[in-house]
Amino acid sequence: VYVTHDQIEAMTMADKIVVMHDGVVEQVGAPLELYDRPDNMFVAGFIGSPAMNFLKGKIAGDTFRTEGGLTLPLPTRGARPADGMPAVYGLRPEHVRLAENGVPVEVAVVEPTGSETMVLVRPPGGGTKDVSTEVARDIACVFRDRIGAGPGERINITADPGLVHLFDAESGRRLN
């Protein structure tokens, strides 16, 4: 047994990880199981770097509508929650894709790192709300390709519905 507070160290060294929060076991599993199928928002936000984006909103038919008015695809796996149900949409930065017909967003920050480009984008109407602090913030994106846009310019983004997560707005538990 090895104890660490460094999630990257745990992901690279362990065969099995126990994620604890305030003395409570949140999830036990193989590193990629925790990354791909987090049981709740705490695990989803703790595992992965940069951290998962969380967007508050509601189920709207076959889509998810954020509080800021963005319309995003629902996950393709798992049961479909009831229309109108409050939920939290989880999107890992590396699962965001550039798309001609995607959601228009404004580039706030571009950080080229060589093999990847970290981009913070702001949806129309301002940033999303961090569900833990209710403070407006940008959506983090990690692109393998270099992007030709800088701060203040617009790009269009989308998410692969097979890679997004839905969480219960009250309990934080995984829905899909």
3-state SS class at 99: strand
Structure tokens at 30: 């193989």
pLDDT per residue as tens digits for the range 93-140: 999 999 999 989 999 999 999 999 999 999 876 555 555 554 447 899
- Residue 144 to residues 114, 138, 176, Cα–Cα distance (Å): 9, 19, 27
pLDDT per residue as tens digits for the range 16-33: 999 999 999 999 999 999
The overall average pLDDT reported for the chain is 90
Could you give the domains of the chain? 1-49 (no CATH), 50-168 (2.40.50.140)
Residue 134 contacts residue 55 (beta carbons within 8 Å): no
Structure tokens at 26: 């949140």
Rg (C-alpha) for the chain, rounded Å, is 16
pTM: 0.88
Measured distance CA(110)–CA(125) in Å, rounded: 20
Which residues are CB-neighbours of 79 under 8 A, at least 6 positions away? 175, 176
b/e map 116-132, b = 16+ CB within 10 Å: ebbbbbbbeeebbbebe
